[in-house]
């Protein structure tokens, strides 16, 4: 099933993102965790793509397993990093042949050790080009990334929004945001996108904090800020894993509750291949009686 078809019946979707393990043992352990998360009833799941295609086959195999063995709607990530146009076309044909209908098209981050993105010989410099290629290969449902706080390589918000609009005009079906911790950034982003004519769903991406130092690194890499109030809670307890988890779950739950109440079309969880934090957030959302599936006509500019 294509993710865009879910939008006709689910005003709010809930999805989980995983990265492909490098060993068979780790892959089986992840499979157990995904089974646990399946009980929560996710709308779809996605699997990331390693730098330069380093986990390409694992990504494709996991997506196929999630669909065939767990009956989940699944999406494969694909990036431009390290691939020529011909190679990307071949990968897209492989995805199509394997029955994968959903693709997250990304430019990708520069490989480790490089400070800026350099396209591969005869490769693409922008995700919009990959979206266009995917559209020419098959009738995929295509997701793209959005940056509430602006892409770290972009000099200003308006130009970043123009890049997003280009991806939409090339054929993107929906947008998933980079992680953020201040909901005002998300709602402002949605309003600005609406004003320039973007009507595709903008699904907020939430990463429950389970490791303080790890999240600081991630935030720096993707240009996301950690609010002072959150920093003040986490910093004194940085080495206390249990306390960090409690704070991270509480913050993410409050984010999700406010986002859903404000009209966000769902939540995309960056799970970091862990299930506990996401399970607890769902439990707390239920307890607070936030409706996670609203009527299909409950649209708003955040969609």
| Segment 20-71, tens digit of pLDDT | 988 889 989 999 999 999 999 999 999 999 765 557 788 999 999 999 999 9
Residue 211 lies in a domain: yes
3-state secondary structure of 253: helix
State the chain's mean pLDDT as an integer.
91
Q: Looking at residues 194-220, what average pLDDT do you find? A: 95
Residue 297 lies in a domain: no
Judged against a pLDDT cut of 90, whether residue 246 lies above it is answered with yes
The per-residue pLDDT for 298 is 38
Residue 295 lies in a domain: no
Residue 278 lies in a domain: yes
Enclosing domain of residue 221 = 3-285
What is the gyration radius of the CA atoms in the chain, in angstroms? Answer: 18
Q: Which one is catalytic: 17, 67, 101, 129?
A: 17
Say how many domains are in the chain: 1
The per-residue pLDDT for 102 is 98
Residue 294 lies in a domain: no
The per-residue pLDDT for 92 is 97
Residue 290 lies in a domain: no
In CATH, what number is assigned to the domain containing residue 141? 3.20.20.220
pLDDT digits (tens, 9 = 90+) for 143-178: 999 999 999 998 899 999 999 999 999 999 999 999
The per-residue pLDDT for 285 is 85
What is d(CA 179, CA 149) in angstroms, rounded to the nearest whole number?
9
Residue 49 lies in a domain: yes
Q: Is 17 a catalytic residue?
A: yes
Residue 225 lies in a domain: yes
pLDDT digits (tens, 9 = 90+) for 139-149: 999 999 999 99
What is d(CA 155, CA 214) in angstroms, rounded to the nearest whole number?
26
pLDDT digits (tens, 9 = 90+) for 111-124: 777 777 888 999 99
């Amino acid at each position: 099933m294509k993710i865009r078809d879910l939008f006709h019946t689910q005003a709010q979707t809930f999805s989980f993102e995983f990265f492909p393990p490098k060993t068979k043992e780790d892959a089986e352990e992840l499979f157990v965790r995904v089974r646990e998360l399946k009980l929560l009833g996710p709308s779809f799941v996605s699997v990331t793509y390693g730098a330069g295609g380093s986990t390409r086959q694992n990504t494709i195999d996991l997506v196929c397993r999630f669909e065939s063995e767990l009956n989940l709607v699944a999406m494969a990530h694909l990036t431009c990093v390290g691939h020529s146009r011909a190679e990307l076309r071949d990968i897209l044909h492989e995805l199509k042949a394997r029955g994968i209908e959903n693709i997250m098209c990304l430019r990708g981050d520069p490989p480790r050790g490089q400070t800026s993105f350099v396209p591969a010989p005869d490769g693409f410099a922008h995700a919009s080009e990959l979206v266009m290629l995917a559209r020419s290969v098959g009738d995929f449902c295509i997701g793209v990334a959005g940056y509430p706080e602006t892409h770290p390589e972009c000099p200003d918000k308006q130009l970043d929004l123009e890049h997003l609009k280009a991806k939409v005009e090339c054929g993107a079906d929906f947008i998933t945001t980079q992680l953020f911790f201040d909901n005002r950034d998300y709602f402002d982003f949605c309003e600005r996108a609406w004003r320039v004519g973007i009507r595709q769903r903008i699904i907020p991406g939430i990463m429950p904090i389970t490791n303080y130092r790890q999240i600081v690194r991630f935030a720096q890499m993707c240009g996301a800020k950690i609010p002072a109030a959150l920093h003040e809670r986490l910093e004194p307890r940085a080495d206390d894993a249990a306390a960090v988890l409690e704070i991270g779950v509480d913050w993410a739950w409050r984010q999700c509750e406010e986002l859903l109440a404000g009209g966000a079309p769902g939540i995309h969880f960056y799970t970091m291949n862990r299930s506990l934090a996401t399970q607890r957030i769902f439990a707390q959302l239920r307890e607070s009686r936030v409706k996670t599936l609203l009527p299909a006509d409950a649209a708003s500019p955040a969609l």
